[in-house]
Structure 1
């Protein structure tokens, strides 16, 4: 039986089933939660949930591609003219060009019991009326927010809030941004929820079977114990193995090994800071594990690094050598291109070894145009064949 290939944003909030014509987005929580948190993907193949937060009236503005929100963020949220504050993940929002975000996606739920929140004024007593409920981690209030508030949302003593899905409450992050965060859990932090980071004041102990994993200085997350290091170790192995295939001449193979080792120790060691925070993204391809008790197996990856408002660079394209010629590389490239177009990127570039004929042919088949290789400096002065070729595709 053919195994399903899945493209995932790494360790953040989304998965996409690429074998379905109309894939739907699901937050990466638990399998039981998936059905209740789906988002319509029509017209947008991005693997991230991007939503416009608000337009504030503050005097100063955040610079282009600067941080404007996220868990623990207390700075200004007004972006420069022509830019809007877009949520990339629960802990990071960024000023991106207008048109690169999707609208807030909420769902109408018909409740037959009260909606549980921390605020008594948000309890829903109407058992038959449709109620707008904000999904976990998304914005539920704040100055300047463009919500259709009802009289039930209003309170004379505070800025109105929207009710959150069950298990979450609308909490004030700052005056411009309210967010649906988990209710206090005396038994520990839920799987995939935040458990640490700069300015974080909540509990740090995770529920049984999970561990608090450090991602960067402002965000730690509860992940399954068995998955704590599995993804990153697989990524490092696949990238190193793929790098050694860039030149059929093995005389200077140790040079490629040195390059791969440096990448593993730098950008691949901190993917959120290297790719996601600056306005790019990172995906892994997985297949069902051969063992029923194991996690999905990582078999490929691709990164997108934003170069400017309209330009991006595709990096770290790698597929496990045991899974070549299965269409994984093409699926990864389709994903990164779809995300780039949805986020106002009009030109993508990438580099590969000058003697990597198979790689060059693959990218050309996808519509990338090979640039004169002699126009680019070599990675090493000796030997000269470490020169890189650049390919470009415009949208």
Structure 2
């Protein structure tokens, strides 16, 4: 038995609330369970309980055993002086106030229905399971699951806004600068995400603004700050990049000694850092006020048009500076743009609207449900239990579910766990 389960039972009144009696046979009526306290102090604040027709207002403390009161040293803490009811699973000792009167105790195990307890035990039985509810997940009603996934998706957006808010503070509320840093990280994907982000962090965005009218200048800036212009290569384009970068480095007093190295190993050529950086440079060369355009865009097709960009001409016949390849137009694919939307654009639009006090959930959800579901091990595992991920909203929500609820055993705070326990 865990205290979290007792908190859940009390908070949601998952027990027989009629004909309650304390361990001393006093009639107990719960008027309000109080406000759940997740910090230090009593478990529930401002509860109202009638005991033998006397209304009490104060705090409620919950333990597995009554003696846990002393185990946690509550008798020495003034924060517990206003406890009006001690709720326990098993009563094993009386608890006294400072005036030596006994604090009324309610022993819950007498009033919890057996099916609720059995469902709880079944859910938390330690077995070799991917998630606690994997044997029951398929039976969850679609209405319950879809509503929960939508809430989880918004939770995940809120979580991502914390990074955005930190970057805003660092850039003195420059949304264009934050967008550039986040896009850079996402252009690098998993392998080079941190490298590209460190590159973006090393450049004041005012320099990007001053350089973006010339694509070659912008490319030289990104390549140079990423440490990709430090080899001995005899190539006209490469040598022109070095010359341009050296000028920029001196002009803007640039340093790149803190930039993380880029990697080519085990990457498909289309994801080589050279290709992705050229595409990023093309994007900022084509769109002088990219952030404003993103905020004004609310249709998926319009986003695909906005991000329909490719590399500069040189990279149409190269993947690296040294080896020429078959000519091909290296444009951003829809699947890559989807990743930019999921990880950068939608969180940024959400954060911007919230900062302005505007409602944006409907528009964000509409776009997210129009994007194809991501594919990864978490999504595949959920889909093997029940075909549930049909869009990016679903896949992002399922990642949130797995990492923030399933992995942390927060089944009592999950709509799926709640449904199974009260089934």
Same fold (TM over 0.5): no
Q: Whose relative contact order is higher, 1 or 2, with alpha carbons under 8 Å and at least 6 apart?
A: 2
In proportion to residue count, which structure has more strand? 1
Q: TM-score range by the shorter chain?
A: under 0.3
TM-score normalised by structure 1 residue count? 0.23
